[in-house]
Amino acid sequence: MESFLKTWETSRKLYLKFLESYTLDQLNTIPQGLSNNMIWQAGHIIVSQQKLMYTLSNLPINISQDMVVKYQNGSRPDGNATQEEVDEIKVLLLSTVEQFKLDWQAGKFTTFNEYQSQTGFHLATFQDAVTFNTFHEGIHFGMLMYLKKLV
């Protein structure tokens, strides 16, 4: 778990640094032919992590239901994110990692409901979800790198 936590925390810091490098307008820009933007990518990884690790473990999530609806798999930006929403995402990038660490150390992750991802990954165990989360966040960081060339 220590290796995962180190990688995940580094990844989330890269997301934060990336978001801090762009204006609100740039973060909200949806390039022609695409269906989402930079801020959606960041919000999406937060929601996905919460669902993969907490919901599938029958634990309450650490984000609002509004955020889940706005950034869950299959959603699309419904307008421009406000600066307040961007600031919340920036905080959540690291606070959700810290909360996970506390919950992991407290032994809260004792059950797991198997899950089949839309990309074909079968998650049979909590460890599978942790591993998949790393892969998933890497995909979306790649999308950020692509989007920055278009805005």
Mean pLDDT of 2-31: 96
Mean pLDDT of 6-20: 97
Can you tell me the distance from the alpha carbon of 69 to that of 46, in angstroms, rounded to the nearest whole number? Answer: 12
Q: Which two tokens stand for residue 142?
A: 């790649």
Can you tell me the distance from the alpha carbon of 74 to that of 141, in angstroms, rounded to the nearest whole number? Answer: 18
| pLDDT mean across residues, the chain | 96
Can you tell me the distance from the alpha carbon of 10 to that of 17, in angstroms, rounded to the nearest whole number? Answer: 11
Q: Which among 51, 28, 31, 48 is positioned nearest to 40, based on CA atoms?
A: 28
Question: Do residues 134 and 31 make contact, with C-beta atoms less than 8 angstroms apart?
Answer: no
Which pLDDT tens digit goes with each residue over 22-62? Answer: 999 999 999 999 999 999 999 999 999 999 999 999 999 99
Q: What is residue 78's predicted lDDT score, i.e. its pLDDT?
A: 86
Q: What is the DSSP annotation of 88-100?
A: HHHHHHHHHHHHH
- The model's pTM: 0.96
Mean pLDDT of 74-87: 94
